[in-house]
Structures are given as C-alpha cells and as structure tokens.
Amino acid sequence: MRSTYLFTSESVSEGHPDKVSDQVSDAIVDLMLAKDPEARIACETMTTTQRVVLAGEIRCKPMYDQQSWPENGGWAPGARDEIEQAVRHTIREIGYEQDGFHWETLEFENHLHGQSTEIAQGVDAGEEGSNKDEGAGDQGIMFGFACDETPDLMPATLDYSHKILERMAADRKSGAAPFLEPDSKSQVTLRFENGKPVACTAIVVSTQHAKGYHTGEKEAELKAYVKDAVAKVIPAELLSDQTVYHINPTGAFEIGGPDGDAGLTGRKIIVDTYGGAAPHGGGAFSGKDPTKVDRSAAYITRYLAKNIVAAGLAKRCTIQLAYAIGVSEPLSLYVDTHGTGTVDDAAIEKAIMSIETLRGLTPRGIREHLGLNKPIYKKSAAYGHFGRKVEGDSFPWEKTDLVDALKAAV
C-alpha cells in the first residue's frame, strides 16, 4: 500500500429511496422468518412517488401455499394485509409523511409469488437418511473485510460516514433537529499516512430539509447543526480549519426520498459493506433469506475477518468464498492479510476450515453457527451491515467469540 494517500467513502440515510426499498424488503424477510424459520424469500422493492411495489419469490406455508389456499391465489387469509401493514409500518418508522410519499396514503402493489420448484430442488437438503446437504441458494463470490482503523474494526471513512447520518436521524426523530427530513447522504475523505488516518480533508453532507432552510438565517442554522453533528462523530484530532465542508452544495433539497428519485432494493452494496476499501462480490443482501449465500457467506466472511484482526493475527484482512448453486461445500476459501499477518495466510485458511462448528462453511453450517434463521434483518438495512453493535440476536456476525479458537488453531 502507498504510505500517504487520500481515501473517501459515502453513506446514505434510512430515508434515501434505495434504503427505503432495502428496509421494506428486509421487513418482509423478517415477517416470514418469524412465521417460519425455514422460509425462502427473495423480495425486491421499488419505491417512487406515492407508490411501493413488491416482486419476487417466496416459500412460507403459514403465509403462502398454493395447495392450501388455491382459491386465494395461494395466500393465507390475512397474509396480504400483514405484508402491506409491514410495508407501511416500515415507511412510517423512517418518517415519511410527505405529500409525495406518505406511509398511510401511498399506493401499494404486491407481486410476490411462489418459489421456483427447480431452484428449491437444488437448494433443499435431501430426505432424512439422504447424503444430500442443503445447497447454496445461488452461485457467486463473497468477500469479508476487517481492519484496525476504528474500534469497530471497519474502514474509518465509511464508519464516520454512517455515524454522521445515524446521529442526524436520531436528532430528527427526537425533535432536536426538526428542520431535517428523512433523505440524506454523507461522504468523508481522510488523509492516511503509513496506513493510519491522520486528517479529515473533506466532508460532504446533503440533507433533505424543511421549507426555507436553504437561504438566510435558516440555512446558516442547518449548516451549523451539520458541522456540530460531524464534530460529535469524527475524532477532534482529525478535524481542523483545513477541513473543507460541502453542506447541501446544490442549494435547496426539499423534494427528496422516493418522491425525488425512484428507489430499488440492492443498489447501495458498497455503502452496505466497506465503502470501497475492500472488494465486493456483486450480490446485494436485503430481501434475501439466509440460504442465499450472497447474504450469509458475506456475513461469515466479515465474522472471520473481524475475528482474525481481533485475535491480533493481522491488522487488515480480506476473505473470499465462492459457491455453486445447489452445492453445499464452498468452491474456494482465500485469505489475504495484506502483508500485516503474524502467521502465514495459508495457515489461517487451514485454521478456519478446522473449526468444527463452522461445518466446512456450508450454507447450513453458516446459518447454524451465526443463528441466522431469525427475524433480525431490517435493522441491518440502513447504516451498513457491518461495524454494528451486537443487539440480542441481531448482528451476530459482529461477535468476536472465535478469537480463542483461531489462536489455538494456528
């Protein structure tokens, strides 16, 4: 790595149209996993002015079964209403009560349908006594990453970008900043020397606001608030009079959210992961049950990378896994500690595969080790899937309970 360089990451708030879509999709995942821990969900959401549309495939007998309710299109009595209520509740929690997007009056369409039997036969485990284990829900490559730039073992530029917007959302909802509206974006640029952040050179924050907060004293109030929010997140030693601020650089930002731009599930994958500091396999997370390795394998690779760094085996770690649809065993495992490792990377790979509870990193092994068949996903759909605090069953991939096992195995 270069010894001195600038690096930038961005984040978007829970009110960004793509993030609204992600949260709605994960609300559906949570709803169905609460009904059936073995449910299969692939839910896509589109949001635009006063409209939310769902599409995708599901398998959840308590809610949808063609044989049980053929006269109702396969839907259990009341299931469609439950889905609509979950969607409207999610949008209400975000805070959308605007003419162009209102949780109560928007038009809703549900185009979810049954899972393809051809996909199901490849993914499902065999009958009892069969040697067929549960297969991966799709082919693909997944990456996990951790580094020692922050206490959360996340890239500093992304960590600060997320936390600025989290702070602003909390102030909006508490009434401390009543002029803020749900849609916002942030961007943080840091200068690094010898791999460590030493100065914040630029901050960009664009936030939707109440009418009139783009001129005069109201604009000054908004900008002063944003600078104060930034100062509460970014360490003081990184900020100086040399830090350049761009706050609502285009001027007025009154029309936002899905009314300002359409949103789709899965369009913010770099925001969701490592802010560009690490590779991304390409698959999105939200709207997918944990048999989809796009999601579960990305979580286990983050978990492994974080535990490797927490164990002092490296200062920086990238892990890749690859799968084929319907096949349980991963095709490959790759560990790269970027020259910071205290042991050989191949030894770490061998150590990972030797840990019995991981069951060879099969989809079932991942789900059981992390406890992923639970309604824990909507919380992850805004402000990043990684670098979060473990809350009950939520964010189990952020635990560092594998440190001792890794140390022993190497």
> Is 115 assigned to a binding site?
yes
Q: Which member of 10, 22, 30, 44 is catalytic? A: 44
Q: Among this protein's residues, is 268 annotated catalytic? A: yes
> Is 183 assigned to a binding site?
yes
> Is 284 assigned to a binding site?
yes
Distance CA 324, CA 138 (A): 6
Q: Among this protein's residues, is 14 annotated catalytic? A: no
Q: Among this protein's residues, is 267 annotated catalytic? A: yes
Q: Which member of 10, 19, 40, 277 is catalytic? A: 19
Q: Which member of 261, 329, 349, 368 is catalytic? A: 261
Using an 8 Å Cβ cutoff, are 327 and 135 in contact?
yes
Q: Where are the alpha helices (DSSP H) in 311-384?
A: 345-354, 363-370
Using an 8 Å Cβ cutoff, are 138 and 293 in contact?
yes
> Is 385 assigned to a binding site?
no
Using an 8 Å Cβ cutoff, are 95 and 172 in contact?
yes
Q: Which member of 26, 152, 272, 294 is catalytic? A: 294
Using an 8 Å Cβ cutoff, are 278 and 318 in contact?
yes
> Is 267 assigned to a binding site?
yes
Q: Among this protein's residues, is 336 annotated catalytic? A: no
> Is 219 assigned to a binding site?
no
Q: Which member of 59, 288, 315, 367 is catalytic? A: 288
Q: Return the H-helix or E-strand segment holding 308.
A: helix 293-310
Q: Which member of 162, 163, 185, 385 is catalytic? A: 185
Candidates 150, 182, 155; CA nearest to 169 is: 182
Q: Among this protein's residues, is 44 annotated catalytic? A: yes
Q: Which member of 18, 22, 149, 159 is catalytic? A: 18
Q: Among this protein's residues, is 40 annotated catalytic? A: no
Q: Among this protein's residues, is 407 annotated catalytic? A: no
Using an 8 Å Cβ cutoff, are 201 and 244 in contact?
yes
Tokens 């020259």 belong to: 339
> Is 187 assigned to a binding site?
no
Using an 8 Å Cβ cutoff, are 59 and 113 in contact?
no
Q: Among this protein's residues, is 113 annotated catalytic? A: no
> Is 209 assigned to a binding site?
no
Q: Which member of 59, 163, 209, 292 is catalytic? A: 292
> Is 292 assigned to a binding site?
yes
In the chain, the largest separation of any two C-alpha atoms, in whole Å, equals 74
Q: Among this protein's residues, is 19 annotated catalytic? A: yes
Q: Which member of 145, 253, 386, 395 is catalytic? A: 253
- HSE at residue 263, side-chain half, CA atoms within 13 A, is 32
Q: Among this protein's residues, is 253 annotated catalytic? A: yes
> Is 42 assigned to a binding site?
no
Long-range contact pairs involving 239-244 (C-beta distance under 8 Å, separation at least 24): 239/200, 240/199, 240/200, 242/199, 242/201, 243/199, 243/200, 243/201, 243/202, 243/203, 244/201, 244/202, 244/203
Q: Which member of 16, 172, 315, 385 is catalytic? A: 16
Q: Among this protein's residues, is 294 annotated catalytic? A: yes
Q: Which member of 38, 57, 93, 219 is catalytic? A: 57
Q: Which member of 120, 199, 252, 262 is catalytic? A: 262
Q: Among this protein's residues, is 132 annotated catalytic? A: no
- For the annotated binding site for Mg(2+), the residues are 18
- For the annotated binding site, the residues are 16, 18, 44, 57, 115, 183-185, 261, 267-268, 284, 288, 292
- For the annotated binding site for K(+), the residues are 44
- For the annotated binding site for ATP, the residues are 16, 183-185, 261, 267-268, 284, 288
- For the annotated binding site for L-methionine, the residues are 57, 115, 261, 292
Catalytic residues: 16, 18-19, 44, 57, 185, 253, 261-262, 267-268, 288, 292, 294
